[in-house]
């Protein structure tokens, strides 16, 4: 949907987030009334940093995914299980073992194999790969903060303020390009609502729900399979055929991710709330 839209990436990020926040507002207010005794200003203050990281992630993803094939962009975005352990170690003290480090090296080898040819021929795809990689780092920090903030009394008391603030941050960034949005285009509005409904409300909310109850690595592994579906959709919508190098790089990345996830230490018993 990002590739199909003509909207500037910053404007696109702002609209999808603000629409998602508006659509979820009834759930937020219902949860706030239910948990008003325990939902404090301190909770709301902890949503600003993940909101800023989400805004950076979505804006940079909008730029990068238009400069590189869908399959490559999705593959790099799904390196999340490689970066996430480092954030989890720092933020929630989930330790990284030797096997996880080895798996990280293997998966990064796949990324190098994917991006070096673009570097050698100075193709636009290389810049897109680099931007997508930076976007993935921002996403890893955002997901790790969701894990740290799992003590919120309701999922909606966390994600709705995050979406709203991220949308406002993106809106400020997008001001120079806001006038370029095709306000009379039903097609563009349909894509904005599609982005708000599927990858934002369903996708990001499910990820945040998952990290509240499961180890971050388990959630990120489930997220990895999306690059396979993105490759299929990229073929049907844009006739993009992945090169043999993409499959080799994918094999390295998946091997590294599998090693990282399946060597993860057994989680401690859940905390008593």
Q: Hey, where are the domains in the chain?
A: 9-262
Instruction: State pTM to two decimals.
Output: 0.82
pLDDT of 112 strictly over 80: no
3-state secondary structure 13-64: HHHHHHHHHHHHHHHHHHHHHHCCCCCCHHHHHCCHHHHHHHHHHHHHHHHH
- What b-and-e string marks burial along 42-63, b requiring 16 or more CB atoms within 10 Å of the CB? ebeebbebbbbbbbbbbbbbbb
pLDDT tens sequence across 211-264: 998 777 777 777 766 766 777 777 888 887 777 877 887 788 788 877 877 776
pLDDT of 268 strictly over 70: no
Would you list the DSSP string of 97-164?
A: -HHHHHHHHHHHHHHHHHHHHHHHHT-HHHHHHHHHHHHHHHHHHHHHHHHHTTTSS-HHHHHHHHHH
> 115: closest CA among 123, 107, 124, 126?
126
Lowest-confidence range among 55-69, 91-105, 232-246, 256-270? 256-270
pLDDT of 146 strictly over 60: yes
Overall residue count recorded for the chain in this entry: 273
Instruction: Supply 2's token pair.
Output: 């990002």
- Give the mean model confidence (pLDDT) for residues 46-71: 90
Res 84: pLDDT: 87
Give residue 26's pLDDT band: very low, low, confident or very high (50, 70, 90).
very high
* More confident: 146 or 79: 146
pLDDT tens sequence across 150-173: 999 999 999 999 999 999 999 999
**Residue whose structure tokens are 């990895």:** 224
pLDDT of 269 strictly over 80: no
Sign of CA dihedral 9, 14, 15, 19: positive
pLDDT tens sequence across 202-212: 999 999 998 99
């Amino acid at each position: 949907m990002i590739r199909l839209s003509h909207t500037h990436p910053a404007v696109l990020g702002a609209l999808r987030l603000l629409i998602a926040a508006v659509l979820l507002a009834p759930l937020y207010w219902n949860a706030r009334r239910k948990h008003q005794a325990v939902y404090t200003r301190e909770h709301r203050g902890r949503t600003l940093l993940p909101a800023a990281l989400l805004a950076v992630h979505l804006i940079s993803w909008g730029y990068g995914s238009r400069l590189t094939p869908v399959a490559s962009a999705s593959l790099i975005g799904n390196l999340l299980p490689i970066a996430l352990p480092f954030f989890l170690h720092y933020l929630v003290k989930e330790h990284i073992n030797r096997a996880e480090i080895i798996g990280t090296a293997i998966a990064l080898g796949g990324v190098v194999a994917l991006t070096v040819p673009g570097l050698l021929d100075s193709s636009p795809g290389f810049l897109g790969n680099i931007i997508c990689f930076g976007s993935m780092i921002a996403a890893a920090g955002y997901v790790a903060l969701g894990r740290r903030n799992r003590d919120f009394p309701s999922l909606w008391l966390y994600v709705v303020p995050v979406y709203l603030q991220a949308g406002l941050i993106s809106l400020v960034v997008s001001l120079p390009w806001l006038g370029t949005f095709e306000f009379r285009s039903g097609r563009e509005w349909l894509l904005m609502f599609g982005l708000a409904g599927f990858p934002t409300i369903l996708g990001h909310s499910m990820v945040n729900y998952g990290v509240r109850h499961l180890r971050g690595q388990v959630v990120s592994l489930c997220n990895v399979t999306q690059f396979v579906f993105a490759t299929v959709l990229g073929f049907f919508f844009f006739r993009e055929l992945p090169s043999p190098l993409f499959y080799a790089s994918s094999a390295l990345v998946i091997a590294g991710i599998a090693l990282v996830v399946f060597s993860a230490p057994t989680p401690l018993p859940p905390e008593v709330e």
